[in-house]
Amino acid sequence: MRFRRLVTRRDFLATSGRIAAATVAATHAGWTLADQQGSELTDLSAIQAATAIRQGDIKAEDYAAALLARCETGKHLNAFISLEADRVMEAARAADQKRASGAALGALHGVPLAVKDNMQVIGYPTTAGTKALIDFRPKTNAPVAAALLRQGAICLGKTNMHELALGFTSMNQAFGIVRNPYDPARMPGGSSGGTGAAVAARMTPAGLGSDTNGSIRLPSSMCGIAGLRPSSGRYAQAGIVPLSSTQDTAGPMARTVSDLLLLDAVITGEAYMPASVDLSGVRLGISPKHYYADLDSSVAEIMQYALDRLKDAGATLVEADIPNLTELQAGVTVNVIYYELRRVIAQYLAAQRTGISFDDLVEAASPEIQTQIKGWALEWSPNAISEQVYRKAIDETRPRLQATYRNYFRENDITAVIFPTLKMPAPLIPEIAVSPGPDVEVNGKPLAMRVAFARNIAPCSSAGIPGLVIPAGITPNGLPVGLELDGPAWKDRELLALGLAVERVLGTIPSPQV
C-alpha cells in the first residue's frame, strides 16, 4: 500500500480537534506515517489510521477489511470471544459515507478497536470470560467504551481474557486459551490477554483492558506493547464486571505511547498536557530490594541496557529503596480483592438484571476459578478475609502505602520509579490451569508464579497510582520484555509525557510473525 503523503503533526491536530487534550498531546508525539512502498495497513497506529481515514488516504472499509483478514490469519491465538466481521464492515462503510457527507468527524473516526469482554458494549455479549454470562447482552455501554464510540471508533470485537479476570495467564477454560503472538506455545499474560495479543498481532491498533492487579501491564509486557493502568478512580468503572471497587480500573493498550495519550484524552476529556519531557531533567527511581531481586538473566540484561540508554540520554538514575514496600503491599492486595470480590460481583449481577446470582456464577465457573473463590472469597472459605482484616487494609495499611509513595517521590525528587514489569519473559503455557498458577523456572530455579508475575506490579495496583508499560527490548529467543514507570497519583498525563520520551530513546521492537 502506498500512501499519498506524510501524516504531519498538523494533520493530527485536525484529527483530534474534537478533543482538546488529544490536540495538545499531538505536539509531543513526534511520529510520521512513512511514505513508502510495502507499508501494511495493519501496521498503522490508531493516530495514523484515524488521520489517513480523515484525509481520504485510505477508506475505513479497506482498513477494517485488512484488520479482519489479520484476525483470520491469527485466529489460532484465540484473542477474541466475539467478533462479527459483517457488523464491522457495515460500520466501516457507514464511516466512509459520513466522511463523504462532510459531517464532523470524531478523533477515532473509522478506527476498529478491541474491547475486553468484561466491558459492556451494546449488541455484544459481556461474558467476563465465564460460562454463566454467555447470554448476557447489556442494554448500556460501559462509559469507557462509549467515549471511544462517540469519537467514531468501531468495536472490532470483544477480547478473550482470564475467566472473571481472576488470573495472570489467560488460560480461559470456557472460551479457550489465549496465545502469545511472539510464540503461540507461550502465554500472553492476563487477565487482559486477548487485547494484548490482538494489539501485538496487528489485529487492531489499540484497545481496552482492565487492571485490578496487573491485568493490563502483564499482557503489555509479555506481548511487547504499551499499556496504561490509570490512577484508581480516574476512569469510570460503570458497566464493567468488577472484582474490587478499590483496585479495579479500565485502561488503554496500544503499540505506541502516542495512542495511549489519545485514548486517555478521549476517555477522560482532560485538556491538560505538560510540556514535552527533556530526559536531562528527569530523575528515575530504582528500588532494588523489591523490584530487581530474582530477575531472569535475559530480563536483567535488557533492563540494564535500557537504563544505560536512558542515562546516556540525560536521565538521572536514583538508587533508593521504597521503605517497607513489600510488607505494605502484602497487607493490601489479597485482603482487599478477595473481601470485595463477592460483594461487588453480586451487586453488579443484580444491578444489570442478568438473572444470574453470584452462586450461579461460581457453580458454572471452571475448576480453577471455583478453587480461588471457594478458597478465599466466601464467608465460609478456609482463607476468608474477615471484616477486621479488610478494614485494617483499607483504613491503615493502604493509606500508609500511599503516603510511602508520596514521600518517596517528594523526598528523592523522583519523577517515576522504573523497573521490569515482571521477572521473566512469557513462560510456556502449562498443561493444566491452576490458581494462582504453577511455579515457573527463572535462571534454572523454580519460582512461584505469583512472585514472578505479581511482585512488581502489585504495589502500583494496591496504592492506586498510575503505571505505564513500554517495550524495553526482546530476548535472544524472540520474547518481549517490558519496563514499567510508576508515577505519583493523578499525574497520569505527566507519566505519559515521560513515556513518550522514554519510547523515543528505546525505539521499537520487531513485530511478531503471526
Alpha helices in 269-317 (DSSP H): 288-291, 297-312
pLDDT at 438: 77
Local confidence band at 10 (pLDDT 50, 70, 90 cut-offs): very low
Contact 204, 225 (CB under 8 A): no
How far apart, in whole angstroms, are the C-alpha atoms of residue 52 and residue 119?
A: 28
Residue 21 has pLDDT above 80, yes or no: no
Residue 506 has pLDDT above 50, yes or no: yes
pLDDT at 28: 38
501 versus 273: which is more confidently predicted? Answer: 501
How far apart, in whole angstroms, are the C-alpha atoms of residue 423 and residue 379?
A: 34
Contact 78, 287 (CB under 8 A): no
Which whole number is the average pLDDT over 461-465?
98
Residue 142 has pLDDT above 90, yes or no: yes
Which whole number is the average pLDDT over 119-125?
98
The verdict on whether 491 is a catalytic residue reads no
DSSP-assigned beta bridge partners for residue 416: 284
The verdict on whether 82 is a catalytic residue reads no
Residue 264 has pLDDT above 80, yes or no: yes
Catalytic residue among 16, 170, 191, 435: 191
How far apart, in whole angstroms, are the C-alpha atoms of residue 42 and residue 155?
A: 16
How far apart, in whole angstroms, are the C-alpha atoms of residue 69 and residue 75?
A: 10
Which whole number is the average pLDDT over 211-218?
98
The DSSP code sequence of 209-267 is EE-SSSTTHHHHHHHT-EEEEPPTTSS--TTB--S-TTT--EEEEESSHHHHHHHHHHH
Local confidence band at 273 (pLDDT 50, 70, 90 cut-offs): confident
Task: Write the DSSP symbol of residue 394.
Answer: I
Tell me the domains of the chain and their CATH numbers.
Answer: 9-506 (3.90.1300.10)
For residue range 274-315, what is the model confidence (pLDDT) as tens digits? 789 999 989 999 999 999 999 999 999 999 999 999 999 999
For residue range 344-381, what is the model confidence (pLDDT) as tens digits? 999 999 999 999 999 999 999 999 999 999 999 999 99
Number of H helices, E strands in the chain: 20, 15
Contact 121, 76 (CB under 8 A): no
299 versus 36: which is more confidently predicted? Answer: 299
C-alpha cell at 423: 521477572
pLDDT at 24: 38
Which whole number is the average pLDDT over 177-204?
98
- 317 in helix, strand or coil? strand
- 432 in helix, strand or coil? coil
419 versus 37: which is more confidently predicted? Answer: 419
Instruction: At 141, give phi and psi (nearest 5°).
Output: -90, 145
Task: Write the DSSP symbol of residue 180.
Answer: B
How far apart, in whole angstroms, are the C-alpha atoms of residue 268 and residue 21?
A: 9
How far apart, in whole angstroms, are the C-alpha atoms of residue 244 and residue 237?
A: 10
Local confidence band at 39 (pLDDT 50, 70, 90 cut-offs): low
Identify the CA nearest to 467 among candidates 433, 429, 419, 428: 419
Percent of residues, the chain, with pLDDT higher than 90: 87
pLDDT at 17: 46
Q: Are strands 176-177 and 171-172 parallel, antiparallel or unpaired?
A: antiparallel
For residue range 56-84, what is the model confidence (pLDDT) as tens digits? 999 999 999 999 999 999 999 999 999 99
- 188 in helix, strand or coil? coil
pLDDT at 374: 97
Catalytic residue among 210, 215, 221, 435: 215
Q: Are strands 283-286 and 316-319 parallel, antiparallel or unpaired?
A: parallel
pLDDT at 301: 98
Residue 13 has pLDDT above 60, yes or no: no
**What is the residue-averaged pLDDT of the chain?**
92
Percent of residues, the chain, with pLDDT higher than 70: 92
pLDDT at 274: 72
- Say how many residues make up the chain: 514
Contact 261, 25 (CB under 8 A): yes
Tell the burial category of 39 from Cβ atoms under 10 Å away from its Cβ (0-12, 13-18, 19+). Answer: middle
Catalytic residue among 116, 158, 423, 491: 116
Task: Write the DSSP symbol of residue 4.
Answer: S
The verdict on whether 98 is a catalytic residue reads no
Residue 434 has pLDDT above 80, yes or no: no
- 477 in helix, strand or coil? coil
Residue 22 has pLDDT above 50, yes or no: no
How far apart, in whole angstroms, are the C-alpha atoms of residue 131 and residue 134?
A: 5
- 130 in helix, strand or coil? coil
